Amino acid sequence: MRKLSKSEVERLKTQGCSAEDWGKIQVGDKFAADYVHDSDFSGEVILGNFTKDFSLPGGVKRHSGLRNVSLHNVTVGNDCYIANVHNYIANYDIGHDVFIENLDLMLVDGSCSFGNGVKVSVLNETGGREIMMFDRLSAQAAYLMTFYRYKPELIKSIEAIISTYSAAVTSDRGFVGNDVVIMNTGVIRGVKIGDSSRIEGASRLANGSVNSNSSAPVFIGNGVICDDFILCSNSQIDEGVALSRCFVGQACHLGHNYSASDSVFFSNCVGENGEACSIFAGPFTVTHHKSTLLISGMFSFMNAGSGSNQSNHMYKLGPIHQGIMERGAKTASDSYVLWPARVGPFSLVMGRHVNHSDTTNFPFSYLIEQSNATYLVPGVNLRSAGTIRDARKWPKRDERTDPDKLDYVNCNLLSPYTIQKIFKGCELLTSLRKVSGELSDLYSFHSMKIRNSSLVRGLELYRVAVSKFLGNSIISRLGKAKISPETNLVECLRPDSMIGDGEWVDIAGLIAPKSEIDSIADRLVSGIVSDSAALDAEFRRLQDNYYDYEWTWAYGKIKVFYGFDPQKVTADDLIKVVSGWKEDVIALDEMIYDDARKEFSLASMTGFGADGHKAEKEEDFEQVRGSFDDNPFVKEVLRHIEAKSALGDLTLSALRSHS
């Protein structure tokens, strides 16, 4: 860098520029005064070289430079275009190739942490479960801060890590990265803006971080207001969104006047039209509808129907109640739940529920309201085409392009986490039937009712689910061993790791043994895990070793479910397992196939062929929706049946040759 020459100072003055002290301005070695007009400088100012043209939509070009700008203590990189700043830019370092036009005000006023260290009151609006935000917050770290409050030393340790990070990024200068576009925007106050960000038409951004990068840009659009926030890479915030004390994870999309306060949204969440207050939105939480309110709840892999609503206080001590909808739970249109309540994984809530149900041990269920009572239909969602479609779409809809992924996400439908709940659910249903009598038409369980036919059907569906999961695990294990007549089946099945026995948990997308989560907590408290990188490495280890740990758990359930000791296993034992698995998997796929067919029934054709008869109705339906046999999901189900049949036959052939 160099000082301005006398001739350059005179040239700038003739072009309408002024300075508090021309001697405090430094410029690049190829600086050209030709491209600086009607600008005012104060404090320490550094200007790069202006050699580049920007091409705008419609064929318009702008040469890099400064026009109608007031800069105070600002560094401007090479090849930037900054024009029409209505007030000023103060205390900012601006990178290279930045385009700024029609901006009201951008400044940092005093020390700023850019949203890091701000506490978000999730679940309980009055506090007690605060999440401390920072740039590298993962869904898993947030889960520990939210739900492990019974370990206060753990909370202190995590908050200490975040406080150290926040102190390190706290500064009295803001930052704008390279290749950033800021256009037609109001006030930007105390915001750190990463590479390749696009901010077009935002109203106000205050005390936040826009963690964009060239691999995963962030977009902020028209009318957006964000106060005390962090936006992660790939996120898109547009069309009048209003956020206050919110963390928005990687590849989240918020738009269409969505509003949220004291909430966290982790990877691949979508929020449109509605409202969120004090929610923990784990990965793939989706809400599209204008009349939908999510409040004081924990959600993940969730789709909220229109008009979904919850209540978090009962007009006594204020908004202190909370709820949990475990992974994959859905709400139907106009559903309502009075917190506190807990909904088991992959369940569907229909109607209004005010009796504080807890269905955590009844995954894949329906909760249906009839005459102000909650009816539980256990296991029925296992045969739903919608459930299977959801599970298959999540990996395909992961839009994170950032190679540095913050959240660890396991999309498995069947896992030790859900199967352990099925085992508990079967025990509860069997005990209920034994105590109340097998001939009862209706059973009562806590605040819910269960019809006899639903209970019997649920037990069978749960049995099929366990058979499918354990069979999958055993066949996968046998496949890795490449069975031959010489294979020692006992050694083949013996787990490689002792980790995995006991209870499993889902910590906001990461499925893992609880013993390992407790171990991470202990290492945090002891200081062995002392920074965010070390904590991230712990979660990555659990994700990378999931299938080893899963097999350890499944191995421990073989005797419970099948009745033989895996340490004395024979080929005949495994032949029975694989034969039963093949039957159950095909039977379940056939149920899903039949469920999908309902979408092509005559009832579904209502409104098609509006001015025709049956033939026209069917033709109109097929033109719009396609035929049942050509439906991509239906084809996928049929391919799955063929593939699993072939896998079963191949495994059976190997086992028979062994015996």
At residue 659, the pLDDT reads 63
Average pLDDT estimate for 232-252: 98
User: What residues are paired with 28 via a beta bridge?
Assistant: none
pLDDT digits (tens, 9 = 90+) for 538-587: 999 999 999 999 999 999 999 999 999 999 999 999 999 999 999 999 99
- Type of residue numbered 571: A
Cβ-contact 409, 395 below 8 angstroms: no
pLDDT surpasses 80 at 115: yes
Burial of 424 (0-12, 13-18, 19+ CB in 10 A): middle
At residue 593, the pLDDT reads 80
Looking at 96-100, 366-370, 383-387, which range is the least confident one? Answer: 383-387
At residue 652, the pLDDT reads 86
Nearest partner of 340 among 301, 285, 295, 286, judged by Cα? 295
- Give me the torsion for CA of 386, 389, 395, 398, rounded to 10°: -60
At residue 73, the pLDDT reads 98
pLDDT digits (tens, 9 = 90+) for 280-305: 999 999 999 988 999 999 999 999 99
CB within 8 Å of 196: residues ≥ 6 apart: 177, 178, 179, 180, 212, 213, 214, 217, 218
At residue 303, the pLDDT reads 94
User: What residues are paired with 602 via a beta bridge?
Assistant: none
Secondary structure letter of residue 627 according to DSSP: -
pLDDT digits (tens, 9 = 90+) for 182-198: 999 999 999 999 999 99
At residue 140, the pLDDT reads 98
> For residues 117 and 629, which has the higher predicted lDDT (pLDDT)?
117
- Type of residue numbered 651: T
Cβ-contact 575, 652 below 8 angstroms: yes
At residue 363, the pLDDT reads 97
d(CA 418, CA 415): 5
pLDDT surpasses 70 at 276: yes
At residue 627, the pLDDT reads 78
pLDDT-based confidence at residue 602 (cuts at 50, 70, 90)? low
pLDDT-based confidence at residue 487 (cuts at 50, 70, 90)? confident
- Type of residue numbered 30: K
Q: Which pairs with CB-CB distance under 8 Å and at least 24 residues apart come from 583-588?
A: 584/463, 584/464, 584/467, 584/468, 584/471, 585/468, 585/471, 585/644, 585/648, 586/641, 586/644, 586/645, 587/464, 588/382, 588/383, 588/464, 588/465, 588/468
Average pLDDT estimate for 327-349: 95
pLDDT-based confidence at residue 392 (cuts at 50, 70, 90)? confident
- Type of residue numbered 548: D
pLDDT-based confidence at residue 479 (cuts at 50, 70, 90)? confident
Average pLDDT estimate for 20-47: 96
